[in-house]
Structure 1
Amino acid sequence: MKEVIYAGLNEARTVLDEFMRPETVSLINEAATLISDALQSGRKIISCGNGGSLCDAAHFAEELTGRFRKNRKPYPALAINDPAYITCVGNDYSFEEIFSRYIEGAGEAGDVLLAISTSGHSKNVVKAAQAARTIGMKVVALTSVGSNQLSPLADIVLASPKTEFSDRVQEIHIKVIHLLIQSIEIKLGHH
């Protein structure tokens, strides 16, 4: 069993090493600047995803409205994760529209959408990005390397190396989320 654990840790390290390139660091900084500028302009951040990616979306919003490492004022951020809303729209319209309808109702020009999809092919996340673009929101995509439907809709694409299973991609995503929040706090003078 210990061999399995060591193998898993080594695999995670390999994926992180592959991800950690100067261009990736620049893109994370660019995304943090985009989000910081939106917050400084009084805009809000909306995040979405499915399954584990929805948990990451909620974690991102929670860290922005709560706190990361130090006490500071809350930033306006929310994840589209209300079960009553999701089941209402999923039932009355379609599961593909659960995020886009929310964006159409609550999003405004200048807001930022953090769209999370390990594959980049989640139809409801793609539709959310399309809706965001239509109303003048900026889109940051958190996905994996490779051709997908989400990346062309994003202003900034933060792509994990593609792996056989999504858990390694999700591990990179949570690392990126923490780096974004830390960078946003520094850019907004809370460090």
Structure 2
Amino acid sequence: MLEQRIQQQFFESADLLYQVAESLSRPVADAAQLLVDGITAGNRVLCCGLGLSSLDARYMAALLSGHFEQDRPGLAALFLDGQLQMSAPADAGAALARQIQVLGHPGDLLLLFESQGAPRAQLAPLLEAAHAQDMTVIALSGSQDDEWRSALLDTDVQIRLPHSRPARVAEGQRLLAHCLCDAIDLQLLGSGE
């Protein structure tokens, strides 16, 4: 019984990735191009996420500023953790929005991870802060409802892994982070093979 349940976890994850591979290839390519264009123009990538998704944002910032599978100079990527001075609002979304206001510059990109189906009220301030700074948003989301989709601009890119289980979405987002890094490295360094 336990082994079957464990196998089901693998099958469910693989099934989701198989289902979205074709439909997500275009938005991932678009997002990778935005990142390359921004980085080569001297702009930065600000990575953030709410809740456990912040761990994926930290991981992505580390891959960009460090390296993925090939050695390369570090890319200008920052992880926003939402930690501010003691006088800052306790709400993580408001703290992240404040960091975007303080650190974001025109031409920078906001790479937002969201796997839990956060409501518009939590995500809209982040998107509004990025847009007020003239930043482009790349949103890796898992929401099935996408009630906050209307807060994205036509120039933004959403990469959506629709699934009811946040664990499946988080697994897919890790793969998306790797796909983005691979595409960036391919465009900046060429094939390492």
Kept in 2: contact 1:57–1:116 (CA 8 A): yes
Q: Which moved more, 1:113-122 or 1:174-183?
A: 113-122
Aligned partner of 2:80 in structure 1 is: 80
Does 2:18 correspond to 1:6?
no
User: Could you tell me whether the CA contact under 8 Å between 2:50 and 2:93 is conserved in 1?
Assistant: no
Q: Give SS of 2:89's match.
A: helix
Residues 1:48 and 1:87: Cα distance change in structure 2 (over 3 Å)? farther
Gaps of 5+ in 1: none
1:110 is the counterpart of 2:107: yes
Counterpart in 1 of 2:136?
A: 138
CA offset at residue 180 of structure 1?
0.3
Q: 1:152 to 1:125 in 2, by over 3 A?
A: closer
Equivalent residue, structure 2, for 1:16: 17
Q: Which runs of 4+ in 1 moved over 4 A?
A: none
> Is residue 124–residue 151 contact of structure 2 (8 Å, CA) maintained in 1?
no
Q: Between Structure 1 and Structure 2, how many residues are aligned?
A: 186
Structure 1 match to 2:51: 51
- Matched residue SS, 1:46: strand
1:132–1:139 contact (8 Å) kept in structure 2: yes
Separation in structure 2 between the aligned mates of residue 176 and residue 28 of structure 1, nearest angstrom: 7
Q: Structure 2 stretches of 5 or more lacking a match? A: none
Residues 151-190 of structure 1: pairs in structure 2 closer than 5 A: 152-154=151-153, 155-163=156-164, 165-189=165-189
Deviates more, 1:65-74 or 1:115-124: 115-124
CA-CA distance at 1:88 after TM superposition: 5.3
Q: Is the 8 A contact 2:82 2:93 kept in 1?
A: no
In 2: Cα distance, 1:82 partner to 1:109 partner: 20
Q: Which residue of 1 aligns with 2:123?
A: 125
Measure how far apart 1:161 and its partner are.
2.2
- Take 2:13 and 2:86, find their aligned partners in 1: how far apart are those partners? 35
Counterparts of 2:92 and 2:104 in 1: how far apart (Å)? 19
CA contact (8 A) 1:104 1:131 kept: yes
Contact 2:162–2:169 at 8 Å: present in 1 too? yes
SS in 2 for 1:89: coil
CA contact (8 A) 1:46 1:114 kept: yes
* C-alpha separation in 2, matches of 1:88 and 1:71: 41
User: Which secondary structure does the structure 2 equivalent of 1:157 belong to?
Assistant: strand
Q: Taking structure 1 as the reference length, what is the TM-score of the superposition?
A: 0.89
Contact 1:113–1:132 (8 Å) recurs in 2: yes
How large is the Cα RMSD of the aligned pairs?
Answer: 1.9
Quote the sequence identity (%): 24
